[in-house]
Structure 1
Amino acid sequence: MAHRFVLWFEDIGIADVPLVGGKNASLGEMVRELGRSGVRVPTGFATTAEAFRVFLAESGIEPAMREQIRRYHAAEASLSETGSHIRALILGSRFPDALTGEIRAAYDDLAARLGVKELAVAVRSSATAEDLPDASFAGQQETFLNIRGHRALLDACLRCFASLYTDRAISYREAKGFDHFAVALSIGVQQMVRADLAGSGVIFTIDTESGFPHVATISAAWGLGEPVVQGSVDPDKYVVFKPLLEQPGARPIIEKTCGAKAIKMLYARSGAKRTRIVRTTPAARGAFVLNDDEIIELGRWAAAVEKHYGRPMDLEWAKDGETGLLYLVQARPETVQSGLSRSSFLRYSMKTRSTPILTGAAVGSAIAAGKACVIRDVADIARFPDGAILVTANTDPDWVPMMKRAAGIITDHGGNTSHAAIVSRELGVPAVIGTKKATSLLNEGQAITLSCASGENGVVYDGLIDFECEDIDVGALPDTRTRVMVNIAEPSAAFQWWRLPAKGVGLARMEFIINNLIKAHPMALLHPERIGREDQRRIGELTKGHASPADYFVDTLARGIAKLAAPYYPHPAIVRLSDFKTNEYAHLVGGAVFEPSEENPMLGFRGASRYYDERYREGFALECRALRKVREEIGFANVIVMVPFCRTPAEADRVIAAMAENGLRRGEAALQIYMMCEIPSNVILAEEFAERFDGFSIGSNDLTQLVLGVDRDSEQLAKLFDERDPAVKHMIAEAIAKAHAARIPIGICGLAPSNYPDFAEFLVAERIDSISLNPDSFVRTIRTIAAAESAM
C-alpha cells in the first residue's frame, strides 16, 4: 500500500533531506548503501515533511505561531515566552486521521518484521534544515527512547513536532538565519537498541580539537547515550588511526583512556518518565565499555561512513546488551574542523608561565581571559554578562543562548563529545571540559585565564595572564634538501602540529610518556610486594581496566608512542628509549625503592647502562614489549628505536643483545636502531658505532655538557654553556663527516637549531641529513634552513 506520510529507511537516501530531514535521510543512506559492507543500522521508518505541514494546516495553528514569532522579533515577547506558547499550540492539537493511521500501521509492520508483539522504539526528530555541512543543529530537537504501543508512540511523535520550537531551536535558527517556517520536522521511528544493558556513545571521524583528519575518536559510557552527549558523564575515550585499518593484522588503537563513568542512564521501570539515572558500580567504573575488537569494528565503520559521504562525520553508536551487536544510530556531517584550512592555523601561546589551578579536556586551541560567572541552573541565564567565562557542572541544548555570549566555558563533567564540547567548537568558544571541581573551586567574579593551546589538556589559571596569537600559513613554507623533522614529547599535544610539513618525528622521548601517562616506576609495577601500601594503592588506581600492571605499562607506552608517530606517518618516527636519571626515576610512584642515590645522576646510572643491568633488565623488557606492540600489533613499522647515552661499543653490543632477547632484532621486520651521538666517545669512535647502528642523532645538550665540562643544569655556569662553542661545533662536524663516510644518516634532535638560527646555518653547511625542531620554532627555522641551502 502506498503511503503519503511514511517512508521506510531503505527507501530514502541523503538526497531526501527535504522529504525527511538530515538525520533520517542519513539513516536511510546508511541502511541502503552501507549495510551491504557490514555497517549495522537499526531499521525503521520516517514521517515526511509533508506530514508536518499537513498537521499545521489541518490543525489551523500556523497563523498563531507566526504571530508569536512576530512578537518575538518585535521584542514584545521573550524567547522563553515565544517557545512556550508555540509548543503549547502544537501539544494542544491532534494528528490528522490519515497520519495517525499510517504511523500506527508502520509501527505494526516494523514489529512484525522483527518478530516482536509490542516493539520498543526510539522516536527521533529530524529537521529539514538539520545536519547540513555548515550547521549541525546538534541536540536542537528531542529524542524519546523505549517507546512502546500506539498511544505512547503518537504522544512521542507530537512531542517531537513541538520540539522544533524549543528555546534552543528557535535561538539556533535565528543565529543561522533560517526562516522558522521554511523548516519542517520529520520523525524517525527506529528499532530500539538495548544499550541500557551495554553501552553507547559518539564517534567523530576527525580529531575534534586539532582537525587531524586521520583518526576516529570514540567516546563510550555504560547505558543509554544521552549522558555522553549532555556531558553529565566522563566517558571512555578511544582513538583509532584510520590509515592502518586496512593493513593486515594491524590493530591501530592509539589511545585507550578509562573514563570515570560515575552514572548511567537506564529505562525506567514504571511511571511517566521513560529513563532514570543510576550510579555505576566500582567495577563498571574501572572497566572499559568496549573491547579492542569492538573499537576496531567501530573504527572501520567510521572510516566507511566518512569515505561514503566524502567528508568528516559525527556519528552515534549503541551496543545491544541482549545480542552483543553494535549499531550506528545516527550520522551527520562534522561542521567545525572540516571547514577549516589545512594549510594555515592560529597558534595561541602564553607570554608568561603560571601554575594551573584546574585541568580538563581542551576544546579548541585558543586562550581566553575574563571573570568567572558560576551558573548552576539554566534558569539563571539572565544574570550571565556578555564576555564572562561560564563555569557550570555541564550543559545541554538549553544553555546555547548563554554559551554564545561567553568568552570561554569551564565544566565539571563531560568529555570531548559532550554537548558542551560540540557546541563550544561550533561557536568557536574555547572550553575546558570535565575539570571535576570548577564550580566548587572558582568564585563568582574571579579573574581567570583558560588555555586550550597545549593540545588535548586544557588548563585554567588564576588571574588574567597575557597571551598572543600568531597566524601560521604552512602552505607558504619552502621545500628543503635537509630533512626537517619535529621533536614531540607529549602524546596529548601530538596532533596539534599535524599541519606542519615535517618529514617525520626526529625525537620522541619515551620518558615523557612514562612520567606523564604511566606515572609509576616499571619495576614497582612488576614487584608491588617491594613498595609501600600507599604506592600499591596508587598503582591499583592507575592500572584499573588492565589485565595486569605490566600490561598497563606496555599498553599505555605503546599507544603513547603510536600517537606521537601518527601525525607524520608514513615518515619515520625516532623513539628514544627511556633516559631518566636515577633521581627522576625515584620520583615515579614506587620508584624510590629501586633507585640508588647518586652524587651526579647526570653522569650516573642512565641510558644504555640500565638496559642490560639486573637492576633494570625487567623494566627494559617492558619497554621492548611496548615497542614490539607499537610496530607489530598497532602497525607503526615506521618507528625507529634510538639508544641514548651509550658510552662504548661494548656497551652497544650488550644493549643490542638485550633488545634481541626481547624480540627487537635489528633488520628483522625492517627494524632500524639508531644511537644518540651525545658523548665525546661517540664521535671519537664513530666508525665503530656505525657498524652497530643504522643511524646517528646528535644530542647537542649532552654533547656540549661533556665537551665543555659544564653541568647543563647549573645556574652558576649557564653563561659557559653554549652549543655554538668552536669545540662543540668541531665535534659535530666530525660526527657528520664520519657518519657520511660510513654511509649512515645523521641528524640532530637537540635544541640548538631551534634556539639559534646561525647554528642551523652551520649544520646545513656541514650537510647534515636531518634537523629536528621544536614545533613552535619550525616555521621560523625552516626558512633559515632554506635560505642557507640557497646560499651554498
Structure 2
Amino acid sequence: MKNTVREEMTMGTHVQWFEDLRRGDVATVGGKNASLGEMVATLGEQGIKVPGGFATTADAFRAYIAHNNLNARIADTLSALDAHRIDLHEAGATIRRMIREGHWPDDILAEIKAAYAELSARAGVPNVSAAVRSSATAEDLPDASFAGQQETYLNVEGAEALLGACRRCYASLFTDRAITYRRLKGFDHSQVALSVGVQRMVRSDTGGSGVMFSLDTETGYPDMVLINAAWGLGENVVQGAVTPDEYQVYKPFLDKPGLTPILEKSLGAKEKKMIYGRDGHSTRNVPTSKRERAQFVLSDAEILDLARMAATIEKHYGQPMDMEWARDGETGELFIVQARPETVQSRADAAGFRTYTIGDKGNTLLTGLSVGAAIASGPVCVIESAKDIDRFVDGAILVTSITDPDWVPIMKRAAAIVTDHGGRTSHAAIVSRELGLPAIVGTGDATHILHDEQEVTVSCAEGETGFVYEGICDFTVEDIALSDMPETKTRVMLNMANPSAAVRWWRLPSGGVGLARMEFVINNAIKAHPLALLNPDQLDEDTREKIAALTAGFADNEAFFVEKLAMGLSRIAAPVYPEPVIVRMSDFKTNEYADLLGGRGFEPHEENPMIGFRGASRYYSPAYAPGFALECRAIRRLREEMGFDNVIVMIPFCRTPEEADRVLEVMAANGLRRGENGLQVYVMCEVPSNVILAEDFAKRFDGFSIGSNDLTQLTLGVDRDSGELADLFDERNPAVQWMIESVITRAHAVGAKVGFCGQAPSNDPDFARLLVGYGIDTISVTPDSFLSVKRNVAEAEG
C-alpha cells in the first residue's frame, strides 16, 4: 500500500518527495527544497545524512491563492503600499491575514495528509514530529540570499497542525522583510511562489545544532570551514539570539589521515537553548546550565566530520555553500538540514581587495565578533524593540540586542550595526555582509553601555575581534590591485602577530611569513603565564578563578596552553601554506611576562629587562624550562598533529654559540630535533655576537633573521624605547649597516640563508633597496606595506 501511495504522490502536481527532486527544480519547489532533494538523492553514499521528507510545490501555492481569490486582493494591497496610501507594516499584516484565513483545495489537502501519513509510517510513529520550512522559488540565487526571510516551524505534530503551519509559511512570503528585500532586488512579487518542506525532525533539542560555511565569511578565504554551534534547536543560532561556539577548520588537510586541522575553537556564551514545548509539540527557550555554557557543543571528531561534510557538499555543488546542521541527542548522528549557495564572498572581486587602516583610537568601549572588514563612524541609535524602528536616524550606528530579520528595512540605512548577541553565521551577520555594512555581533552588553547620539567608531578591520571606540576616529581606505604585483627574486614575506587578522591577507602573493610572534598569541589568546597554568596551587583564589574561566572547555590547563597556542599559530600558517612560516619562540621580557595573569610570582624584578632574562636564556633555565616545554609541545602539535610542516622555529636573543647548543638540546629533549621531520631552526640576528660569530652560529642553525630594532640598539648602545635618545636610534647608521652587510656576506659564504624582519623596509623604501643590494634572501614586512615594498624590491633588482 505504501508504494501505491508513493507512486500516486510522485505523479501529482502538489507534493514531491525529496528523493525525487534535484537542484534544478527551484521553479517547482524553491531553492531550499531543491537542494535538500539533491543531497538526499546524490550524497547519501558519500556520508551526507539528510532527514527525509517531502515538499509542496509552487503550483500548490498558486492553486491555494487562486482558490481563495487572493491574487487581486494582494496586488491591490501592494499597489496601495507603492502609492504610499498604507505603510509597509499594514500592507504585510493585511496580506498575511488573508492567506492564513484561506481554505485548502480538496486535492491539495488530500495529498498533504497522505504524504504526512507516509512520512509518519516511515518513522514508525502515528504522527511524526516535523520541521516545516518555507522555500521560495526565487531564493538562494547566485546573486541574492533570501535566507531567513520566510518562516520555519519546528516540532510540528499531527496533520491539522501541519496544515496550519503550511498556511503560516505561505503567509510569510509577505513578511515586512521579504517585501522589502524583493523591492530592493527588483523581484516581481507576483512571480515569486512558495514551496513548503516537511522534514522529519532531528532531536537536536537534546543535542546541538548550528550553521556552517565552506569558506571564511569575512575574507572569502576558500580553504576554511567555519562552524557555529549551540545547544538545542538551531533557530537561536540562525536568528542571532545566542552567542555560539565557533570552530575553524583547514580544508586541505581533511583528507590526510591522522591530522586534526582545527584552527580555532572559541567558546560561546550559549545563553539559552530551544527545546520542545511542554505540550509535546511546538518549541520554547530555556536558559542553559553553567555546565553547558562552559562546554564546547562539539567534540574534535564531530568538528572534523562536519567539516568533511561541508567540503563534500561544496565539491558536489561546485561553489561555496552555507549549511545548517543538527546533532541528534538520542543517537549522536550528525545531519545536514539545509544547504544553499553562499552569495557574498563567492561573488567578491578576486583581482583585488579594499583595506581599512585605523589611526589614533579613542577608548575601547566594547568588543565582539567582527563582520565585514570595514570601519564606520557616526552617532549611536539604540533600538531595543521593533516597535521603535521608526525613530532610526539614517547613517547612524544601529545598536540593538538582536538584529532581527524584520529590521532589514532600516539595516540598509545604517552606517554600521552592533548587537548584544549572535555569531558570525547569524542572519543579522549574513544580511550585514550582503549590504556591505560593518557589524559587531555578540558584544554582550552594547545596549547597556552605548547611548543615543553618542559618537563612536566601529572597527571591523583589525581581525576577528571588532572594536567600538569612543569618538570619531581617523581611518584610511586603500584599494589593492593584485594585478599590479611585480615578480621579484628576493622573496617578500609578511610580519604577523595577530592570528585573527592573518587570514585578511590571504590573497597577497607573499613568500610566506618571515616573523610570527608567539608572544602575541600568548598575550591575547592565552593571557595567563604558563607557569601559573602549571602551578595553580601557588596562586590566590581570585587568579585561580580567572584561570578556570579561561580554560573552560579544555581537558586541563596544559592542554589549554598547548592547544590555544598551536591553533593561534596555525591561523597564521594556514593562509600561506605551503610557503614557510618562521615562528619566533616567546620573546617576552620579564616585566611583560609578569603582566600575564598569575605572572608576578614567577618573574624576577630586573632594572633593565631589555637586555636581561629574555629569549634563549630562559629556555634552558630551571626558572622557565617547564614553560618552554609547553611551547615546544605546541609547535609539535602544530607541525605533526595539525599538519603545518611549513613552520620553521626561530630562537630569539641567543647570545653565544654555547647558549645555542643548550637551547637545541632542550628542544630535542622536548621532541623538536633540528632536521627531524624536516624541522628547520633559525636564529634571530639581533646581538652583535651573532654577526661577529656568524660562522659558528651558522653551524647550529639553518638561517638568520635580522631583527633590526635590537641590533641597532645594541650596536649603538641606544635604548630603543628612550624618547630622549630617539634621534640617535638610526637603522641606517653606518655601523648598523656594516653589521647587516657582514652577516649576510658571512652567512652566505657557509650556505646559510638570511632574512630581514625589522620595521625599516616597511617605513623606508630606500632601506629595502639597500637590503637588496646586500644580497638579502628575504624581506619580511607588515601586510599593509607589502605592495610598496614589493615594488621597491623589483625596482632595486632592476
The bucket for the TM-score relative to the shorter chain is over 0.9
Cα deviation for residue 305 of structure 1 reads 1.0
Within the alignment, does 1:322 sit opposite 2:310 as a pair? no
Cα deviation for residue 351 of structure 1 reads 3.1
Within the alignment, does 1:244 sit opposite 2:244 as a pair? no
| Contact 2:362 2:471 (8 Å CA) reproduced | no
In structure 2, distance between residues paired with 1:742 and 1:50? 78
Within the alignment, does 1:424 sit opposite 2:439 as a pair? no
Aligned residue in 2 for 1:65: 74
In structure 1, distance between residues paired with 2:286 and 2:532? 36
Cα deviation for residue 585 of structure 1 reads 0.2
| Contact 2:375 2:459 (8 Å CA) reproduced | yes
Q: In the alignment, residue 110 of structure 1 is paired with which amino acid? A: L
Among candidates 133, 147, 152, match of residue 138 of structure 1: 147
Cα deviation for residue 649 of structure 1 reads 0.8
Q: Secondary structure at the match of 1:716?
A: coil
Cα deviation for residue 35 of structure 1 reads 1.3
Aligned residue in 2 for 1:497: 505
Aligned residue in 2 for 1:781: 789
Within the alignment, does 1:712 sit opposite 2:720 as a pair? yes
Aligned residue in 1 for 2:584: 576
State the Cα deviation string for residues 371-428 of structure 1 (Å, max 9, x = none).
1111010111111121111110112211111111111111111111112211111111
In structure 1, distance between residues paired with 2:219 and 2:251? 16
Q: In the alignment, residue 706 of structure 2 is paired with which amino acid? A: I
> What does 1:621-770 align with in structure 2 at a 5 Å threshold?
621-770=629-778
Q: In the alignment, residue 489 of structure 2 is paired with which amino acid? A: R
Q: In the alignment, residue 217 of structure 1 is paired with which amino acid? A: L
> What does 1:211-290 align with in structure 2 at a 5 Å threshold?
211-270=220-279, 274-290=282-298
In structure 2, distance between residues paired with 1:782 and 1:500? 11
In structure 1, distance between residues paired with 2:126 and 2:667? 63
In structure 2, distance between residues paired with 1:650 and 1:116? 76
Among candidates 605, 613, 620, match of residue 621 of structure 2: 613
> What does 1:435-454 align with in structure 2 at a 5 Å threshold?
435-454=443-462
Aligned residue in 1 for 2:4: none
In structure 1, distance between residues paired with 2:656 and 2:277? 69
Aligned residue in 2 for 1:554: 562
Among candidates 136, 149, 160, match of residue 151 of structure 1: 160
Q: Secondary structure at the match of 1:284?
A: helix
In structure 1, distance between residues paired with 2:796 and 2:41? 58
> What does 1:388-407 align with in structure 2 at a 5 Å threshold?
388-407=396-415
Aligned residue in 2 for 1:166: 175
> What does 1:350-361 align with in structure 2 at a 5 Å threshold?
350-361=358-369
Aligned residue in 2 for 1:308: 316
Q: Secondary structure at the match of 1:194?
A: coil
**Could you state the TM-score of these two structures normalised by the residue count of structure 1?**
0.99
Cα deviation for residue 655 of structure 1 reads 0.6
In structure 1, distance between residues paired with 2:198 and 2:761? 61
Q: Any stretches of 5+ residues in structure 1 without a counterpart?
A: none
In structure 2, distance between residues paired with 1:338 and 1:739? 45
Within the alignment, does 1:31 sit opposite 2:57 as a pair? no
Cα deviation for residue 466 of structure 1 reads 2.3
Q: Secondary structure at the match of 1:626?
A: helix
Within the alignment, does 1:365 sit opposite 2:373 as a pair? yes
* Matched pairs, number: 789
In structure 1, distance between residues paired with 2:170 and 2:780? 58
| Contact 2:53 2:198 (8 Å CA) reproduced | yes
Cα deviation for residue 451 of structure 1 reads 1.0
Q: Secondary structure at the match of 1:123?
A: strand
Among candidates 195, 198, 222, match of residue 189 of structure 1: 198
In structure 1, distance between residues paired with 2:623 and 2:425? 44
In structure 1, distance between residues paired with 2:685 and 2:38? 57
Among candidates 67, 75, 91, match of residue 82 of structure 1: 91
Cα deviation for residue 355 of structure 1 reads 2.4
Among candidates 15, 19, 35, match of residue 24 of structure 2: 15
RMSD: 1.0
Aligned residue in 1 for 2:484: 476
Q: In the alignment, residue 643 of structure 2 is paired with which amino acid? A: G
In structure 1, distance between residues paired with 2:763 and 2:412? 40
Q: Secondary structure at the match of 1:691?
A: helix
Within the alignment, does 1:462 sit opposite 2:470 as a pair? yes
In structure 1, distance between residues paired with 2:125 and 2:586? 59
In structure 2, distance between residues paired with 1:699 and 1:535? 35
In structure 2, distance between residues paired with 1:514 and 1:449? 28
Cα deviation for residue 752 of structure 1 reads 1.2
In structure 2, distance between residues paired with 1:244 and 1:429? 33
In structure 2, distance between residues paired with 1:591 and 1:342? 45
Aligned residue in 2 for 1:101: 110
Aligned residue in 2 for 1:202: 211
In structure 1, distance between residues paired with 2:54 and 2:773? 69
Cα deviation for residue 244 of structure 1 reads 1.1
Q: In the alignment, residue 92 of structure 2 is paired with which amino acid? A: G
In structure 2, distance between residues paired with 1:117 and 1:491? 53
Q: Secondary structure at the match of 1:227?
A: helix
Cα deviation for residue 353 of structure 1 reads 3.0
Q: In the alignment, residue 542 of structure 1 is paired with which amino acid? A: L
Aligned residue in 2 for 1:506: 514
Q: Secondary structure at the match of 2:364?
A: coil
In structure 1, distance between residues paired with 2:92 and 2:546? 51
Q: In the alignment, residue 451 of structure 2 is paired with which amino acid? A: N
Q: Secondary structure at the match of 1:632?
A: helix
Q: In the alignment, residue 773 of structure 1 is paired with which amino acid? A: V
State the Cα deviation string for residues 568-615 of structure 1 (Å, max 9, x = none).
111011100000000000000010000000011011110011111111
Q: Secondary structure at the match of 1:380?
A: helix
In structure 1, distance between residues paired with 2:107 and 2:488? 70
Q: Any stretches of 5+ residues in structure 2 without a counterpart?
A: 1-7
Cα deviation for residue 731 of structure 1 reads 0.7
**Could you state the TM-score of these two structures normalised by the residue count of structure 2?**
0.98
Q: Secondary structure at the match of 1:201?
A: strand
In structure 1, distance between residues paired with 2:610 and 2:353? 39
Cα deviation for residue 114 of structure 1 reads 2.4
Q: Percent identity?
A: 61
Q: Secondary structure at the match of 2:340?
A: strand
In structure 2, distance between residues paired with 1:451 and 1:524? 33
| Contact 2:361 2:469 (8 Å CA) reproduced | no
State the Cα deviation string for residues 637-688 of structure 1 (Å, max 9, x = none).
1111111111111111111111111111111111111111111111111111
Among candidates 520, 525, 529, match of residue 517 of structure 1: 525
Among candidates 376, 380, 384, match of residue 392 of structure 2: 384
In structure 2, distance between residues paired with 1:780 and 1:69? 54
Greater mean alpha carbon deviation, residues 3-12 or residues 118-127: 3-12
In structure 2, distance between residues paired with 1:116 and 1:752? 72
In structure 2, distance between residues paired with 1:475 and 1:303? 29
Cα deviation for residue 135 of structure 1 reads 0.7
State the Cα deviation string for residues 540-594 of structure 1 (Å, max 9, x = none).
1100111101110001000001001011111011100000000000000010000
